[in-house]
Amino acid sequence: MNSKIKHTTKDIIEKDNKHFLHPWEGLGYFGNNERTVAAGGEGIYLTDSDGNSYIDGAGGMWCTQIGYGRQEMADAISEQVMKTAYFSPFNLTCDVPTLLAEKIAQMTPGDLNTVFFTTGGSTAVDTALRYVSFYNNAKGRPNKKKVISRQDAYHGSTFLAASASGKTRDKSYQDVASGIFSFIGSPNPFRRPKGMSIEEFRDAKVKELEDRILELGPENVAAFIAEPILASGGVIIPPKGYHKMCLEVCRKHDVLYISDEVVTAFGRLGYWFASEEVFEIVPDIITSAKGITSGYLPLGACIISDKLMAEVSGKESNDAIFSNGFTFSGHPVACAAALKSIEIIEKEKILEHVREIEPYWAKKVSELADIPIVGDIRTQGLMACVECLLGPENESSLELDYEMGSRIDKHCQEMGLIVRPFINMNVMSPALTITKDQIDDMFTILRKGIENAMHDLIRDGLWEMPAELAVSDF
Ligand SMILES: Cc1ncc(COP(=O)(O)O)c(C=O)c1O
């Protein structure tokens, strides 16, 4: 038992069940959960309140870039607390957020130089969407309001960001903003129609975007919002060239492009931002959060192009006020954490490390393809998804998929790996400092976890392996 914990694990679990409503709480289990109690961490490892150590496969929630337990981060945070713990961004400014904004402007592509700080990813997306609607109002185009998003997209949990999200499961019993969002299909090559080439699929998806703009009327369409890689949708990597072609369509029809880099920025794909360096696009707005502080403190940013700012500023502004902002916009302690995280990433050449280790990571995760229930493996940078399938798409039961996911989770955790599957999808995004040996450990455990879960389902009579999946040495 960790000596810093004053309460027993049982105690915390009891109080957790009574009082802590968690994100995406499955209310069927509310009050009866047996969550692991996080109590420490170092590097890629997380420790629970009973002293067990785990590889944190998901890197918290895609966010622990420099890893846990950094003393210099603790020092930077505590120094800032004693220096300026807070200032009101509504009427004052402060050195740390200003320096961070300058730093971010140097990292972002093109003329994206204006940074609006938020409290996380959802509020960054909200801010981007509110800016777009404000911008069109200020330009005298009040009808240009529709925003096109995609199935499988996840953009957050505020009312607007959730309404922009395309995962139907997330919307059950929740209301969404009506009349703004229009969804086109997911650019998931794995789900493309049989017989269609990747290029044909890409062209069809781009055409779908253009057709939708034309159907809604370009004069009514304000923006297209897209994660470069659909992270929570299961690391969906659109076909090569897709982003560029989508941007061209947007430009053609005077539609703004919002690139949601809440997951893909700050090194996850080996670069500060992925839009230009990985996907060759310079969007109008980028949203980011998570890895910006390596998860040490909450912070988000909405970064807007000079062009967009200039068109509604100064003489062009008609005295408009961008009435959007948070008490904690540019919070100095969170910004100090971001500056320190960036400094560590630079000093330790972590971006270079990600680029160097990426082929090894990709090779190791791809080796899982021989497990009979593994349907698809998607990977780029240090993010990956191992999608397990118990039957053809739309034919396997959601209940059984949940059961499989929870068994994979349980087996992996017993062997020292936290995976937290999204139903049947095991998503990985560890701290960016991960070594080759640690990658080996991680995927050895994941292999056993998936295989054990599959055996369980067969043993318990819940699933039978179809003949075409069976392999002789299994
Ligand atoms: C692409 C993307 N956008 C936005 C968000 C929302 O971020 P937050 O949970 O910090 O509000 C997430 C969270 O997972 C995300 O993956």
Do 274 and 391 share a domain, yes or no? no
Determine the average pLDDT of the residues in 311-322.
92
Query: Which residue segment(s) compose the domain that 164 sits in?
Result: 73-347
Do 215 and 81 share a domain, yes or no? yes
Q: Which of 324, 347, 370 is the last residue of a domain?
A: 347
Ligand 1 centroid–CA 146 distance in Å is: 21
Determine the average pLDDT of the residues in 90-95.
98
Do 320 and 382 share a domain, yes or no? no
Ligand 1 centroid–CA 229 distance in Å is: 13
Say if residue 148's pLDDT is above 80.
yes
Do 275 and 385 share a domain, yes or no? no
Say if residue 444's pLDDT is above 90.
yes
Q: Is the CB of 262 under 6 A from ligand 1?
A: yes
- The HSE-up count of residue 382 (CA atoms within 13 Å, CB side) is 35
Q: What is the pLDDT of residue 471?
A: 54
Residue 124 lies in a domain: yes
- The HSE-up count of residue 92 (CA atoms within 13 Å, CB side) is 11
Q: How many folded domains does the chain comprise?
A: 2
Ligand 1 pocket test: pick from 290, 427, 429 the residue with the most ligand atoms within 8 Å of its Cβ: 290
Residue 78 lies in a domain: yes
Distance CA 86, CA 320 (A): 27
Q: What is the pLDDT of residue 5?
A: 52
Q: Which of 347, 362, 379 is the last residue of a domain?
A: 347
Is residue 266 within 8 A of residue 121, CB to CB? The reply is no
Residue 439 lies in a domain: yes
Single-letter residue type at 393: E
Residue 25 lies in a domain: no
Reported confidence tier of residue 465, pLDDT bands at 50, 70, 90: confident
Distance CA 289, CA 328 (A): 14
Do 219 and 229 share a domain, yes or no? yes
Do 59 and 204 share a domain, yes or no? no
Do 46 and 122 share a domain, yes or no? no
Residue 47 lies in a domain: yes
Residue 107 lies in a domain: yes
Show the tokens assigned to 401: 């998929």
Residues contacting residue 61 through CB under 8 Å, at least 6 positions apart: 290, 295
| Averaged pLDDT score across all residues of the chain | 95
Q: Which of 286, 316, 347 is the last residue of a domain?
A: 347
Say if residue 235's pLDDT is above 80.
yes
Q: Please count the residues of the chain.
A: 474
Residue 98 lies in a domain: yes
Residue 325 lies in a domain: yes
Show the tokens assigned to 312: 């509604």
Q: What is the CATH number of the domain that holds 261?
A: 3.40.640.10
Q: What is the CATH number of the domain that holds 442?
A: 3.90.1150.10
Distance CA 303, CA 86 (A): 22
Do 52 and 163 share a domain, yes or no? no
Q: Which residues share a beta bridge with 118?
A: 300
Do 248 and 353 share a domain, yes or no? no
Query: 434-443: per-residue pLDDT in tens?
Result: 999 999 999 9
Ligand 1 centroid–CA 124 distance in Å is: 9
Do 129 and 149 share a domain, yes or no? yes
Say if residue 13's pLDDT is above 50.
yes
Whose C-alpha lies nearest to ligand 1, atom 13? Answer: 156
Q: Is the CB of 223 under 6 A from ligand 1?
A: no
Do 169 and 251 share a domain, yes or no? yes
Reported confidence tier of residue 189, pLDDT bands at 50, 70, 90: very high
Is residue 258 within 8 A of residue 285, CB to CB? The reply is yes
Do 188 and 279 share a domain, yes or no? yes
User: CA nearest 257: which of 209, 318, 289, 299?
Assistant: 209
Distance CA 204, CA 242 (A): 10
| Range name among 15-24, 165-174, 422-431 with the lowest pLDDT average | 165-174
Q: What is the pLDDT of residue 170?
A: 66
Q: Is the CB of 155 under 6 A from ligand 1?
A: yes
Is residue 331 within 8 A of residue 414, CB to CB? The reply is no
Q: Is the CB of 156 under 6 A from ligand 1?
A: yes
